[in-house]
Each structure stands twice: as C-alpha cells, then as structure tokens.
Structure 1
Amino acid sequence: MNRYLIVPVVILIYLYNVNIINAQESKVDTSNIKILRIDPKVANGGSVSQVFEDIQFIPLQTIKESLFGDITQLEVTEKEYVIFDNDTKTILIFDKQGKYKCKINLMKEIGGKLSVEDVDIYGFTLKNEKNIPLIEFSTKTKKFVFNFDAKKINEYKIASIESYAAQEFIFKDSTKVISYYRNLGSADKSLYQYVIKKGGEIAYKYFEIDTSKYSKNGDFAVGGKSLIETDNPEIFNAVRNYDYNIYKISTNGISVAYRLVFPNINTIPIDFNSNKKYLGKKLDYFFKFPKNIFGIGYTYKIGNNLYFKCGSLHPDIRKNGSFVYNLTNDYLISLNKLDVDSSSNYLPIIGRWDNDFKKYDGEFLYCSLSSIELFSYYEQEKVKKHKYPIAMQEYFNNGSKKDNPVIIRIKPRKDI
C-alpha cells in the first residue's frame, strides 16, 4: 500500500468509529433493581389521614383575566404558583393564597397562531439569574425570558440547532439533565428521551424515540412530568411508555431503581417495544386487550413510600389506578379507595383518572381538582352539612362549576 494513503484511511476509520460510538445509547445500570409485585385488585383501602397528615385547599381566583382550563404544569416558588395551561398556551401566576397576579399569553408573545407543527410548546422552566427569578420557554427557533410580573426580559434566536428541552434540570455540580433532546447539527440526529450533559458536552444519552411514520399513529402515555421529584433533590425518577421500570436519574447517569411486576392479565408482552409486529399497531393492541397496563407515571419517592399511577383502558384500573407502596413492609394502598375524613375536610383529593400529583417540593405534594368535580361532590354531600374551611365555603357560596381548578397541597406521611 502507498504509505501516503495510510494516514487518511486511518483517520477515516477513526472518525467512522467515533460516529458509531456517538450514535450509541448509554447503558442503563441494572445492577440494583428492587422488584415490586403489584396487583391492583388486592390493593388496600383506608382513610385519607392514614396516608396524609395535612391537606389544604387553595381555590384559584377566577376573573376574566385569570380564567383557564387545566393545570398542565405546576411549579411552586416561595411566594407563587406558576401554572402552564396547554389548552390556552398560557402561563399564569397566582400567589400562595390563590390570588391572581398576572399571565403570559404565549400566542400573543410569539405572534401568529400556535400549532404543534411549528411551535411545540409544552411547558416552561424556572431560572434564577443574579437572584432574580425568571420564566423561560422555547419554540423551535427562539427562547423567551419573562420575569414574575409577566414582562418580557429577553427574546433571542437559539444559536445552535439543538432542539429545545421539554424539561431540564441543573444539578449542584452543574451537570444538566434534559428530556426530549435532539441535535440536528451532530452526526447523531436521533431524538432521545433523556440526555445528561457535563461541561456542556453530552456524557450520556438514553432511550432513542421512534420518529418514523408509525409514531404518527399516536401513543398511549400515563402522563405527568419527565423528571419526577423525589425526597432527594439530587435524584429524579423517570418513566417510559410501555415500560414497567422506574428509573433513577442522577449525575452519574440512569439506573433502574424499581421494576413493577403485574399479574399476567394486566401485562404487555416482554418484547412490546422491540418486536416489529407491534409497529403502528400499538393502539389497536390496547383496544383489543384493555386490561393490559400500558405504562406507569407520577412515580414520586417520598420516605419509605413510592407513589405511582397505572395507565389502562379498562374501567377497573381507570377508576382504581393511583397507588402508594410502602417499600419497607410491601404494603399497597389504592389512593382511589381512601375514605375522606376530617383531615381533608370531607372533600376528595383524587379526581378523574388522568389527574394526579403534579409536583413535590420536598415537603408537600400538589394536585388539583376541577370545579366541575368539586361542585358535583358538594351538591351530593349537601345533606350531610359538612363544615368546610373558610376559603372553600366562600368558593362554594360564590363560585360555580365554570371556575378555575383548585390546588390541593398535601403533606404526606413518611411512613404508612
């Protein structure tokens, strides 16, 4: 071989191998999995006070300017509740008593009509720059930064051609975890569910997402956040579609913390995500086998307790799909079977099947109920003449089913 051709060939081989390495997913650590055997049918009931020690209801002020549909994302600061409503594409800010402060109308700020195809806004991120709290959201081409008075501070084009994050978090050591990440400027243009960056460079990437024509047929997902808070601020839980693992995310990567094992009648095939015979036919499969659980979500780990929700088309699980599992004594409680008592002022805390805990701030869990649900319950219970907290009694006296949702702040017991 001509010696002058050796170096270029070696370089090409090296670059090819680098691209192959860069295109590979990082390996998930499976060395320390705890198996949890879950049978929804035999979950225990109980009272609300058995699981939660303090419950507060916060009606959100309803005026013309503050009216919205549902809480898609909830973030909690020292003084405010910050809410994203995906239906109206609006970010609203309320104080801790539920009084409306201001809102950011994303459609107005971006200009033009929003659509999934050209904007894809699914939420926001809270930032803190020079001790000033800020709200940031992105489109495919721009980032927008607002203060807590809903005033635009900055708007700039995204410098790189990395796709924006659906959700991101920066750990204490500056490691960043990002959900739903793609970099069209790299050799690997795949979409990954999670990417971990160190020093601005990708250290790990996990779970390539199918973006082929079959994905356009839609997916069943339990819902909830990509990064789910735990009782350790440096650890998040995460889940995937059609997967019964609960993953742990830290600065060291992703590992499987828990694997839920359900009865056969509720379990999807083990090769459901890999077998080509299910491509483009997953929705049909669940309509044919509605008892099968298509995934889990809302997996908050608090003390010795693990909260989670099962997704299924079958009414038995849709009505009884939210659970808390004591990891010490393997005791399973259905949150849907809890009886209301004086700790909740005889009001419900768990609503329709697709609504669950939206936030954990290290002390409290937060969920919400629609005014339709609460007023329907109130009308049914009128004959019992329950005594409600002042804020809720005023809400029932002066409000209606068309009012904004009510936030419920719950302090969970560390053990049950």
Structure 2
Amino acid sequence: MRKFITFIFILSSIAVFSQSTNNNKIFRINPDYAQGAVVDKIYETVKYIPLETTAESLFGAIYQLEVTDQYFIILDRNTNSILLFNKNGQFHTKIKGGDQSFLGNVIHSFNVIKGKKQIMFRHRRTLHYYNFDGKELPNPSTLALPNSLKRYWFNDSTNVDFDYNIYEKLPDSTAFKLNFYANRNLIKSAFPYNPKHSPFRNDDIYYESHSVFYKTTNDTTAIFCQPYDYSVYLLSSNGRLSKKVTFLFPLANSLPDNFNQDTLLRGRRITYLRNHKDKFYGISYFYQFGNNYVFKLDHMSYPDTYLYNTQSKNLYCIQRISPDSSNYYLPVSDILGFVDFANSNFLTRDNKYLYTSVSSLQMFKAKSVTTDKHPKYPVALKKYFATQSRKSNPVIIQVKLKENL
C-alpha cells in the first residue's frame, strides 16, 4: 500500500482515484489537489432559517440537531434543554433536563422515534419519553444496557453502542467495541479487543467529533467511523456490518502501518499526532447523496471537510467554497474565518438536504462586510436582519448538493 500511496503523491495531479471491491469502495485521495469553488457551482439550493428568539427559546449553540417532517429538534448543552422549532423557525416547545449541577440530569444526547412522534433521552440508566408537544409520557423505564455515551438508536427497541474501555486491572478477557441490541438483548458484537492487554491506553484515543455514528437515508442503517481507522462502515439494526468506503492517502497524511499495534506508542499516540499534524487519524461526518460523498478528514491541524463526486472524480474542499449572490454572500461554513463548522460540521441530513448552523453573530458580521454587494435577501432574511441582533438564536442552514459536480 505504501508504494502505491507514494506513487500517487509524487506523480499524480489527480485528487481522487476510486474503485470498488465487492461493496467496499476504495477512495485514493490526495487532498493537496482538492478544488475550491463558488456556492452556486456546488449547491443547488441554500436556505437560511432563523430560529425564533424569545425569553423561553433563547439558547447558546446547537450540540445535536434532528430533523422531522415538521420540526427542528435541538439539544442545547448550555441550558440542558431540548428545543423544538417548526420548520419555518417558529418556536414550538422546550423540554428541560433539570439542574446540571447533578450529573444525572445532564442530557448527553437524544433520539427521535419518528413513527411514534416521540423524543427519547437517558438520565443515567433511566429512559424518558416525550411527545413532540414537550409532554412527558408515563412509565419511564430502566435501561438494562451498559452505560455508554456513544449509542445509536435505530428505533425504540434496537440500538448499537460503541465502547472502548481499557484498564489493566480488568480480567484478561475479550471485549467488543461495537455491541448490537434488540429489545435490550445482545444480538451481535464486533471489533474484539483485550481490555487488560491492549496496545492502547484510554488516553490514547482521540475523539474530535461528537459521535461515531451518522445518519443514512433510513432508520434501519447507520454509518460508523472509529478513530485510527480509514474505513467507513455500514451498520444495520439486525447486527450486520460491512465496509462501505476505505480511504487511502498519500504517505505524508497516513498513519504508520503498525500504529494500532505498536506497544511503544502506548500512552504516546496523542503526542505523536500533535507532532505529526498532517497525519489523518480518522474519518468523520460521512454522508452520501447519490454520487456525492461528504466527509471530514480529522487531523491536528485545521480540519477540512471534502466533497467527492464519483462520476466526475472531482474533489472539493468545503471550506474553500466562497459565497456569492446565490447565497446572499452569507456564510455556509468557515468561509469568513469562523470556526463553528470546523467543530460541528454538517449536523445532520435527511433524504434531500444537509443541515448546519451559523450563529447570529456571524450572520450579522457577514452582512456588515458585504453591504457594497447589495445582496437581494428573501423576505425571511430581511425580517431577520431588521428585527434580530447578534445575540439572537443561531440560524439553520439547509443545503442541497448539485448532482453533476
């Protein structure tokens, strides 16, 4: 593999080569050749949806976003609340998690059971269910599952968790990073490791994104990405797992072949990454729309998100996409030096759109520096800029990618 990667790095001016091995696609990526573009070339539509700001609905930042046919459902860690807004941005209701000084009250994440129109979240080992009007449903249940913070619910009865717990005082045994459950019964496990004799320490694992699981187009599958692994996996609610895409990078961007097994790196992997900031330590925020693949390449320098079209073989860097008149010269990502997108990326997806957000502070800054371009704002944005301020709620950005890139 190294010979191939070196060959591509030295001789090729092509950003990506791709091929398929069974159902696993191989993407050979050289990020040095990623293109920039203007918004109109990449996005078919860009829609800005201001979220209503009232005393009850005011919040700080979007930690988690879920989208239904009717609502934006948002987790705000600052207020320890789940807020629901109509798809036009109007505030609907709020679910309060309680006093955060008691750790058991903290809402780490939530799941939406769309078929039942319910929101589910966990306080310690108890599951709570609310309807979309913010009313708690009776009979909260005790969660007879391991207390994992990285759990993905396919629905209210099937889920998968990711746990990599290493401790020398644990028994010499086999544990699994991935565990699938149906009706709270373990049905399948994957990625075995020995928690006592692992070549890793707990502080060797570096997580930059909020999750290792990402949405697909349905509720029976999910995308899984783990640290120090250049493969992206497709998970099914019945416990099936398969490689969807494997990335190969130039040697300068690749971890050593023995990075996961080298015991000499035990307790030193984070230091290694800080000393080799161009090395990619993982893939995250992976979404597919037809021939378009969106993904983030994680490294210790400024991280970038990429868009690759398998039909045209074009590779674009999202942060190099510049605003134009089609999006009123407003931000879509970090195009004006902002940092939110680098941290939170595209928050979620549905079958047509990707969603991210931008703070009102950034929106008003962008407006102030583009007045000479005389952008023609739609009615919703005109009202937003006339009635809101830099301290107002964030703005949801809904984008649709062009098919032919």
TM-score (norm 2): 0.81
CA distance in 2, matches of 1:203, 1:75: 27
Asked if 1:246 corresponds to 2:232, the answer is yes
Q: Secondary structure at the match of 1:299?
A: strand
Equivalent residue for 1:138, pick from 113, 122, 134: 122
Q: Quickly say closer, same or farther: Cα 1:78–1:273, change in 2 above 3 A.
A: same
**Where do residues 1-400 of structure 1 align in structure 2 (5 Å cutoff)?**
32-108=23-99, 113-115=101-103, 118=104, 121-127=107-113, 132-154=116-138, 156-158=140-142, 160=144, 162-163=146-147, 166-170=150-154, 176-180=158-162, 192-197=176-181, 201-207=185-191, 217=203, 219-231=205-217, 234-250=220-236, 251=238, 253-315=240-302, 318=303, 321-351=304-334, 352=339, 353-400=342-389
TM-superposed CA distance for 1:241, in Å, is 1.1
Deviates more, 1:375-384 or 1:192-201: 192-201
Q: Is the 8 A contact 2:283 2:298 kept in 1?
A: yes
- Shift of the 373–188 alpha-carbon distance from structure 1 to 2, 3 Å rule, reads farther
- Give the deviation of 1:296 after TM superposition: 1.6
Contact map agreement 2:178 2:191 (CA 8 A) in 1: yes
SS in 1 for 2:52: coil
- Give the 3 Å change call, closer, same or farther, for CA 291–125 of structure 1 in structure 2: same
1:363 Cα offset (Å): 1.4
Q: Give the Cα separation in 2 of the matches to 1:280 and 1:66.
A: 44
Structure 1 pair 153/190, CA: closer, same or farther in 2 (3 Å)?
Answer: farther
Q: CA offset at residue 286 of structure 1?
A: 1.8
2:272 counterpart letter in structure 1: Y
State, as a whole percentage, how many aligned pairs show the same letter. Answer: 28
* 1:122–1:166 Cα contact (<8 Å) kept: no
Task: From the superposition, tell whether residues 399 and 254 of structure 1 become closer, same or farther in structure 2 (CA, over 3 Å).
Answer: same
Q: Distance in 1 between matches of 2:107 and 2:193?
A: 19
Q: In structure 1, give the amino acid aligned to 2:299.
A: S
8 Å contact from structure 1 (residues 142, 155) kept in 2: no
In 2, distance between residues paired with 1:188 and 1:202?
21
Helix, strand or coil at the partner of 1:168: strand
Which deviates further from its counterpart, 231-240 or 403-412?
Answer: 231-240
SS at match of 1:298: strand
Q: Secondary structure at the match of 1:64?
A: coil
Residue 373 of structure 1 and its aligned partner are, at CA, apart by 2.0
Q: 2: CA distance between counterparts of 1:398 and 1:192? A: 53
1:368: Cα distance to partner? 0.7
Q: Does the Cα contact within 8 Å between 2:283 and 2:297 map onto a contact in 1?
A: yes
- Structure showing greater radius of gyration is 1
Residue 221 of structure 1 aligns to a residue in which SS? Answer: coil
Q: Deviations over 1:177-231 (max 9, x none)?
A: 4123699xxx999875432335754332123589789755474334154332234
Calculate the TM-score normalised by the size of structure 1.
0.79
Alpha-carbon distance in 2 for matches of 1:322, 1:311: 9
Paired residue total: 371
1-structure distance, mates of 2:124, 2:317: 41
Structure 2 CA distance for aligned equivalents of residues 82 and 137 of structure 1: 13
User: Where in structure 2 are there 5+ consecutive unaligned residues?
Assistant: 1-20, 166-170
RMSD after superposition = 3.1
Query: Which residue identity is paired with 1:80?
Result: Y
Partner of 1:283: helix, strand, or coil?
Answer: helix
Q: What are structure 1's unaligned runs of at least 5 residues?
A: 1-29
